[in-house]
Amino acid sequence: MRFVRLLPCLASFVLIPSLAAQTQADAKKDPDRIGSRDVSKGVNWYSIPKELALGKQLAAQVARNSILIDDPVITEYVNRLAQNLARNSDTKFPITTQVIQDDSINALSLPGGFFFVNTGLVLAAANESELAGAMAHEIAHIAARHGTRTATRGQIAQLSTIPLIFIGGWPGVGASQAANAAIPIGLLQFSKAFESEADLLGLEYLYKSGYDPEGMVDIFEKIEALEQKQPGRVAKIFMDHPATGDRIVKVQQDIQELLKAQPQYVVNTSEFDRVKARLQALENRRRNQPASPNKPTLRRRLDTGDLVARNGFFTGASH
């Protein structure tokens, strides 16, 4: 009899976590709950202060190995766009944004709210909603704390290779291979599940900020065209991302099923056009500037393949 009475309790114990997970998944699909939900649930060994310190360290590393744009008009505009998206997101971190001189269509997010936007992304965007769509995806990575959650996974995989007396080393060769693969790849090579989640959350942040959600579709279509133009090169770069065509279909589906149609959206602004033209003029001057014959030509450029911190909206085509 005692055993029979315990069965409902056991069933409840099993069902409660399942229901909680379902409730959490439903919340992530409800843009009306942005800001009042926790999208960073999951195993994470990094406290908020520790994540901030890590992000600050990695951001300094990126800055040392990059050419940063210091034009006040361009940097102020990009930062303001990022702050607007962040205000309409779930992130608990303050966003620190800088612009990198890099031709690839990409952006880079780091733990703790540190965020870099490539000049190539600004120039490739046809309008502000496309640029905002890419940036919203990166802010979603920050809000969901994908960086430190991935780092935690790597540490767990590494620990699982240690033979345990009571377990008998059950992870075996498979776990060892997983650990060896995860650790060198770096902190921010997110799983496809995390990338899909960032697409969903980023789409909601874009919508919540008043932008046309189709902007995310349009910027994806640009990268799909790049994939077709450089199939071998880009295919390797996107190993940790879902196929771009699948991402386009899923975003379009989410727009139809999750987002209530609004009477109007922001597609573009005259400020975006001015900033893009200003950046294009800077790029043209840089490319046309003759090298001095009396000194070697030096160019510092971010090689994200060598960084511990590694991720981008597209995992950039020329990184």
Q: What is the span of the domain harbouring residue 237?
A: 42-288+301-306
CA distance 110 to 83: 16
Residue 159 pLDDT > 50: yes
CB 147 within 8 A of CB 311: yes
DSSP category for residue 308: S
**Bridge partner list, 99:** 117
Would you place residue 21 in the very low, low, confident or very high pLDDT band (cuts 50, 70, 90)? low
Mean pLDDT, residues 251-261: 95
- 12 assigned to some structural domain: no
Q: Which of 315, 299, 248 has the alpha carbon at shortest distance from 109?
A: 315
H or E stretch including 145?
none
For residue 223, the one-letter residue type is I
CA distance 20 to 165: 34
Residue 54 pLDDT > 90: yes
- 230 assigned to some structural domain: yes
Residue 146 pLDDT > 80: yes
Across 22-36, 37-51, 301-315, the highest mean pLDDT is recorded for: 37-51
- 36 assigned to some structural domain: no
Residue 207 pLDDT > 50: yes
Residue 317 pLDDT > 70: no
- 29 assigned to some structural domain: no
- 103 assigned to some structural domain: yes
**Bridge partner list, 266:** 211
CA distance 229 to 135: 24
- 9 assigned to some structural domain: no
Mean pLDDT, residues 242-266: 92
H or E stretch including 264?
none
- 227 assigned to some structural domain: yes
Number of other residues whose CB lies within 10 A of the CB of residue 204: 27
Number of domains in the chain: 1
- 168 assigned to some structural domain: yes
The beta-strand segments (E) located in the chain are 96-100, 107-110, 114-118
CA distance 73 to 77: 6
Residue 182 pLDDT > 60: no
CB 178 within 8 A of CB 157: yes
CB 121 within 8 A of CB 313: yes
Mean pLDDT, residues 205-229: 92
Average pLDDT, the chain: 78
